Protein backbone atom coordinates (compact mmCIF):
# COMPACT_ATOMS: atom_id res chain seq x y z
CA UNK A 1 0.00 0.00 0.00
CA UNK A 2 1.41 3.39 -1.02
CA UNK A 3 2.17 5.72 1.87
CA UNK A 4 0.58 9.18 1.88
CA UNK A 5 2.02 12.65 2.42
CA UNK A 6 -0.42 15.44 3.32
CA UNK A 7 -0.34 18.97 1.90
CA UNK A 8 -2.38 22.12 2.31
CA UNK A 9 -4.11 22.94 -0.95
CA UNK A 10 -4.94 21.06 -4.12
CA UNK A 11 -2.97 18.85 -6.47
CA UNK A 12 -0.68 20.95 -8.62
CA UNK A 13 0.34 23.34 -5.84
CA UNK A 14 3.95 24.17 -4.99
CA UNK A 15 3.56 21.92 -1.93
CA UNK A 16 2.72 19.11 -4.35
CA UNK A 17 5.84 20.00 -6.33
CA UNK A 18 7.92 19.77 -3.13
CA UNK A 19 6.51 16.29 -2.52
CA UNK A 20 7.27 15.21 -6.08
CA UNK A 21 10.88 16.40 -5.67
CA UNK A 22 11.49 15.06 -2.15
CA UNK A 23 9.12 12.11 -1.73
CA UNK A 24 8.25 10.94 -5.28
CA UNK A 25 7.27 7.48 -4.04
CA UNK A 26 4.44 8.76 -1.82
CA UNK A 27 0.82 9.53 -2.69
CA UNK A 28 -0.11 13.17 -2.13
CA UNK A 29 -3.13 13.80 0.11
CA UNK A 30 -4.65 17.28 -0.48
CA UNK A 31 -6.10 18.98 2.62
CA UNK A 32 -8.17 22.12 3.02
CA UNK A 33 -5.92 23.82 5.60
CA UNK A 34 -2.61 23.45 7.45
CA UNK A 35 -4.35 22.08 10.53
CA UNK A 36 -6.09 19.47 8.38
CA UNK A 37 -2.73 18.35 6.96
CA UNK A 38 -1.27 18.11 10.47
CA UNK A 39 -4.31 16.18 11.75
CA UNK A 40 -4.04 13.76 8.83
CA UNK A 41 -0.60 12.74 10.11
CA UNK A 42 -1.64 12.69 13.76
CA UNK A 43 -4.59 10.41 12.95
CA UNK A 44 -2.52 8.05 10.81
CA UNK A 45 -4.36 8.91 7.58
CA UNK A 46 -0.99 10.10 6.22
CA UNK A 47 2.54 9.19 7.23
CA UNK A 48 4.04 12.66 6.57
CA UNK A 49 3.07 16.27 5.91
CA UNK A 50 4.87 18.75 3.64
CA UNK A 51 4.36 22.27 5.02
CA UNK A 52 5.70 25.62 3.75
CA UNK A 53 7.38 27.79 6.40
CA UNK A 54 8.90 30.72 4.52
CA UNK A 55 9.36 32.32 1.13
CA UNK A 56 12.19 34.59 0.00
CA UNK A 57 9.73 37.15 -1.40
CA UNK A 58 6.71 36.86 0.89
CA UNK A 59 8.47 36.04 4.17
CA UNK A 60 7.38 33.57 6.82
CA UNK A 61 4.15 31.59 6.76
CA UNK A 62 2.80 32.82 10.09
CA UNK A 63 0.15 30.14 10.58
CA UNK A 64 2.76 27.39 10.45
CA UNK A 65 4.95 28.93 13.16
CA UNK A 66 1.85 29.19 15.34
CA UNK A 67 0.83 25.57 14.71
CA UNK A 68 4.18 23.75 14.87
CA UNK A 69 4.81 23.89 18.65
CA UNK A 70 1.42 22.31 19.42
CA UNK A 71 1.17 20.00 16.42
CA UNK A 72 2.61 16.95 18.17
CA UNK A 73 4.70 16.33 15.04
CA UNK A 74 8.46 16.48 14.50
CA UNK A 75 10.51 17.90 11.63
CA UNK A 76 12.45 15.17 9.85
CA UNK A 77 13.51 16.94 6.64
CA UNK A 78 13.50 20.23 4.73
CA UNK A 79 13.07 21.00 1.04
CA UNK A 80 13.50 24.09 -1.11
CA UNK A 81 11.33 24.71 -4.16
CA UNK A 82 12.18 27.39 -6.71
CA UNK A 83 8.80 29.04 -7.26
CA UNK A 84 8.43 29.49 -11.00
CA UNK A 85 5.12 31.18 -11.79
CA UNK A 86 3.56 30.49 -15.17
CA UNK A 87 0.57 31.90 -17.03
CA UNK A 88 -1.66 28.92 -17.82
CA UNK A 89 -4.52 29.04 -20.31
CA UNK A 90 -7.05 26.64 -21.76
CA UNK A 91 -6.18 24.85 -25.03
CA UNK A 92 -6.46 27.29 -27.94
CA UNK A 93 -5.89 30.41 -25.84
CA UNK A 94 -3.11 32.84 -26.76
CA UNK A 95 -1.33 35.35 -24.55
CA UNK A 96 -3.09 38.24 -26.25
CA UNK A 97 -6.49 36.69 -25.42
CA UNK A 98 -6.00 36.83 -21.66
CA UNK A 99 -7.87 39.52 -19.73
CA UNK A 100 -7.92 38.03 -16.21
CA UNK A 101 -5.39 35.91 -14.31
CA UNK A 102 -6.44 34.02 -11.19
CA UNK A 103 -4.15 32.98 -8.35
CA UNK A 104 -3.48 33.12 -4.62
CA UNK A 105 -3.20 36.58 -3.08
CA UNK A 106 0.51 35.98 -2.39
CA UNK A 107 1.37 35.15 -6.02
CA UNK A 108 -0.37 38.06 -7.74
CA UNK A 109 2.02 40.82 -6.54
CA UNK A 110 4.98 38.63 -7.51
CA UNK A 111 3.92 38.93 -11.17
CA UNK A 112 2.80 42.57 -11.07
CA UNK A 113 5.20 43.75 -13.79
CA UNK A 114 4.13 41.05 -16.26
CA UNK A 115 0.42 41.59 -15.61
CA UNK A 116 0.75 45.35 -16.03
CA UNK A 117 2.77 44.99 -19.24
CA UNK A 118 0.12 42.77 -20.82
CA UNK A 119 -2.89 44.64 -19.38
CA UNK A 120 -4.10 41.58 -17.44
CA UNK A 121 -6.27 42.03 -14.36
CA UNK A 122 -5.31 39.87 -11.36
CA UNK A 123 -8.07 38.00 -9.56
CA UNK A 124 -7.68 36.44 -6.11
CA UNK A 125 -8.26 32.71 -5.65
CA UNK A 126 -7.90 30.74 -2.37
CA UNK A 127 -5.18 28.57 -3.93
CA UNK A 128 -3.09 28.71 -7.11
CA UNK A 129 -3.76 25.06 -8.00
CA UNK A 130 -7.47 25.60 -7.41
CA UNK A 131 -7.26 28.60 -9.74
CA UNK A 132 -5.80 26.33 -12.43
CA UNK A 133 -8.57 23.77 -11.93
CA UNK A 134 -11.30 26.41 -12.09
CA UNK A 135 -9.82 28.02 -15.22
CA UNK A 136 -9.82 24.59 -16.87
CA UNK A 137 -13.44 24.02 -15.83
CA UNK A 138 -14.49 27.48 -17.07
CA UNK A 139 -13.01 26.89 -20.53
CA UNK A 140 -12.83 30.62 -21.30
CA UNK A 141 -9.84 31.72 -23.43
CA UNK A 142 -9.83 35.15 -21.72
CA UNK A 143 -9.17 33.64 -18.28
CA UNK A 144 -5.83 32.21 -17.12
CA UNK A 145 -4.19 30.96 -13.93
CA UNK A 146 -0.86 31.85 -12.33
CA UNK A 147 0.50 28.54 -11.13
CA UNK A 148 3.13 25.83 -11.53
CA UNK A 149 3.72 23.85 -14.71
CA UNK A 150 2.70 20.82 -12.64
CA UNK A 151 -0.78 22.37 -12.24
CA UNK A 152 -0.93 22.81 -16.01
CA UNK A 153 -0.10 19.14 -16.53
CA UNK A 154 -2.74 17.99 -14.04
CA UNK A 155 -5.59 20.19 -15.29
CA UNK A 156 -4.83 20.16 -19.01
CA UNK A 157 -3.75 23.80 -19.36
CA UNK A 158 -1.11 25.19 -21.70
CA UNK A 159 1.80 27.40 -20.64
CA UNK A 160 1.24 30.77 -22.33
CA UNK A 161 4.17 32.47 -20.57
CA UNK A 162 6.83 30.74 -18.50
CA UNK A 163 8.63 31.99 -15.35
CA UNK A 164 6.97 35.40 -15.18
CA UNK A 165 7.76 36.16 -11.51
CA UNK A 166 9.39 39.56 -10.86
CA UNK A 167 12.06 38.18 -8.51
CA UNK A 168 14.62 35.81 -9.97
CA UNK A 169 15.32 34.07 -6.65
CA UNK A 170 11.77 33.31 -5.50
CA UNK A 171 12.11 30.18 -3.33
CA UNK A 172 9.91 28.52 -0.70
CA UNK A 173 11.25 26.42 2.15
CA UNK A 174 9.20 23.40 3.21
CA UNK A 175 9.43 21.18 6.28
CA UNK A 176 8.57 17.48 6.25
CA UNK A 177 6.70 16.53 9.42
CA UNK A 178 6.25 13.07 10.97
CA UNK A 179 4.73 11.59 14.11
CA UNK A 180 8.11 10.39 15.39
CA UNK A 181 11.41 12.27 15.57
CA UNK A 182 14.48 11.03 13.69
CA UNK A 183 17.67 12.26 15.36
CA UNK A 184 20.06 10.08 13.35
CA UNK A 185 22.93 11.84 11.60
CA UNK A 186 22.24 11.84 7.86
CA UNK A 187 22.62 13.90 4.71
CA UNK A 188 25.67 15.49 3.10
CA UNK A 189 25.21 19.15 4.10
CA UNK A 190 25.21 18.93 7.89
CA UNK A 191 22.38 18.83 10.44
CA UNK A 192 19.87 21.42 11.60
CA UNK A 193 18.19 21.60 14.99
CA UNK A 194 14.91 23.53 15.28
CA UNK A 195 13.36 24.49 18.61
CA UNK A 196 11.00 26.91 20.32
CA UNK A 197 11.40 28.63 23.70
CA UNK A 198 10.15 31.43 25.91
CA UNK A 199 12.55 33.70 27.78
CA UNK A 200 12.37 34.12 31.55
CA UNK A 201 11.07 37.41 32.91
CA UNK A 202 14.48 38.86 33.84
CA UNK A 203 16.45 41.79 32.37
CA UNK A 204 18.31 41.03 29.12
CA UNK A 205 17.09 37.42 29.17
CA UNK A 206 17.08 37.03 25.38
CA UNK A 207 20.54 38.57 25.05
CA UNK A 208 21.90 36.20 27.70
CA UNK A 209 20.13 33.19 26.22
CA UNK A 210 21.60 33.88 22.77
CA UNK A 211 25.08 34.46 24.18
CA UNK A 212 25.74 30.75 24.56
CA UNK A 213 25.42 30.20 20.82
CA UNK A 214 27.93 32.94 20.04
CA UNK A 215 30.52 31.87 22.64
CA UNK A 216 30.29 28.22 21.55
CA UNK A 217 30.50 28.96 17.83
CA UNK A 218 27.01 27.73 16.94
CA UNK A 219 25.55 29.33 13.83
CA UNK A 220 21.93 30.43 14.32
CA UNK A 221 20.30 30.67 10.89
CA UNK A 222 16.83 31.75 12.03
CA UNK A 223 15.23 33.47 15.03
CA UNK A 224 11.55 34.37 14.81
CA UNK A 225 9.35 35.83 17.53
CA UNK A 226 5.57 35.74 17.83
CA UNK A 227 2.97 36.38 20.51
CA UNK A 228 1.54 33.57 22.62
CA UNK A 229 -2.24 33.42 23.04
CA UNK A 230 -2.62 36.99 21.80
CA UNK A 231 -0.63 38.44 24.71
CA UNK A 232 1.75 41.37 24.25
CA UNK A 233 3.81 40.23 27.24
CA UNK A 234 4.27 36.53 26.40
CA UNK A 235 6.59 36.01 23.44
CA UNK A 236 7.70 32.70 21.99
CA UNK A 237 10.75 32.30 19.78
CA UNK A 238 11.39 29.83 16.97
CA UNK A 239 15.02 29.13 16.08
CA UNK A 240 17.09 27.07 13.64
CA UNK A 241 20.75 26.32 14.33
CA UNK A 242 23.42 24.44 12.44
CA UNK A 243 24.44 21.27 14.23
CA UNK A 244 23.17 18.24 16.15
CA UNK A 245 22.16 18.32 19.86
CA UNK A 246 24.90 15.76 20.58
CA UNK A 247 27.62 18.08 19.21
CA UNK A 248 29.60 19.39 22.16
CA UNK A 249 29.26 23.06 21.21
CA UNK A 250 25.52 22.68 20.59
CA UNK A 251 25.06 20.88 23.91
CA UNK A 252 26.82 23.68 25.80
CA UNK A 253 24.82 26.36 23.99
CA UNK A 254 21.53 24.59 24.73
CA UNK A 255 22.48 24.23 28.41
CA UNK A 256 22.95 27.98 28.62
CA UNK A 257 19.70 28.56 26.73
CA UNK A 258 17.83 26.40 29.24
CA UNK A 259 19.14 28.48 32.14
CA UNK A 260 17.61 31.72 30.84
CA UNK A 261 14.41 30.35 29.26
CA UNK A 262 11.31 28.29 29.90
CA UNK A 263 9.48 25.71 27.82
CA UNK A 264 12.34 24.82 25.48
CA UNK A 265 11.11 22.23 22.98
CA UNK A 266 13.11 20.68 20.15
CA UNK A 267 10.86 20.45 17.09
CA UNK A 268 13.24 18.46 14.93
CA UNK A 269 16.77 17.35 14.11
CA UNK A 270 17.19 16.88 10.38
CA UNK A 271 19.63 17.14 7.46
CA UNK A 272 20.06 20.42 5.60
CA UNK A 273 18.63 20.21 2.10
CA UNK A 274 21.47 22.34 0.71
CA UNK A 275 24.66 24.02 1.84
CA UNK A 276 23.97 27.19 3.79
- φ, ψ of residue 20 to 5 degrees: the values are -60, -40
Is 80 annotated in the active site? Answer: no
CA dihedral angle for residue 105, residue 110, residue 114, residue 117, rounded to 10 degrees: 80
3-state SS of 207-218? Answer: HHHHHHHHHCCC
Q: Bridge partners of 220?
A: 241
20: left (phi over 0), alpha (psi -120 to 50) or beta: alpha
Helix (H, G, I), strand (E, B) or coil at 240: strand
Q: Is 174 a catalytic residue?
A: yes
Q: Which of 2, 56, 171, 174 is catalytic?
A: 174
Exposed e or buried b per residue across 255-272, where buried means at least 16 C-beta atoms within 10 angstroms of its C-beta: ebbeebbeeeebbbbbbb
> How far, in Å, CA of 210 to CA of 54, rounded?
22
Annotated active-site residue in 34, 56, 142, 172: 172
- Alpha-carbon distance of 259 to 257, in angstroms, equals 5
Distance of alpha carbon 237 from alpha carbon 181, whole angstroms: 20
Give the dihedral sign, CA 8/9/12/13. Answer: negative
Catalytic residue list: 172, 174
Amino acid sequence: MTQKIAIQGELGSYSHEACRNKRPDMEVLPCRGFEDAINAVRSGEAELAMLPVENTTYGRVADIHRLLPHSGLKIIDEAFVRVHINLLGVPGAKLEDIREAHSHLVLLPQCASFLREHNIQGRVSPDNARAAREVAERGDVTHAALASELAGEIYGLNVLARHIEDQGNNTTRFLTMAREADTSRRGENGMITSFVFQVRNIPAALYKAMGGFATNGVNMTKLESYMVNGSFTATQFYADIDGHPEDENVRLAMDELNYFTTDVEILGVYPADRKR
